[in-house]
Amino acid sequence: MRQVSLPDGIDQDKIDVSFKNGVLTVHLPKKPEAQHPARKIEVKSAA
């Protein structure tokens, strides 16, 4: 058995792990308060 330390801000009640065809998939969703709101960044073109 292996153990992994989780970073702060992970919603441990919603962790989803699957193992299929030799591939381990781990989903570690962030808690709502740990998510940062999206922001727009202006892209300037070189002239």
pLDDT at 28: 92
Inform me whether the pLDDT recorded for 47 exceeds 80: no
CB proximity list for 33: less than 8 A, separation 6 or greater: 9
Q: Domain residues of the chain, as ranges? A: 7-33
**C-alpha count within 13 angstroms, C-beta hemisphere, residue 28:** 10
DSSP letters spanning 1-47: ----PPPTTB-GGG-EEEEETTEEEEE-PBPGGGPPPP-----PPP-
Per-residue pLDDT for 9 more than 80? yes
Residue type at position 34: A
Question: pLDDT-derived band of residue 39, with 50, 70 and 90 as boundaries?
Answer: confident
pLDDT over threshold 90, residue 18: yes
Q: For tokens 């292996």, what's the residue? A: 2
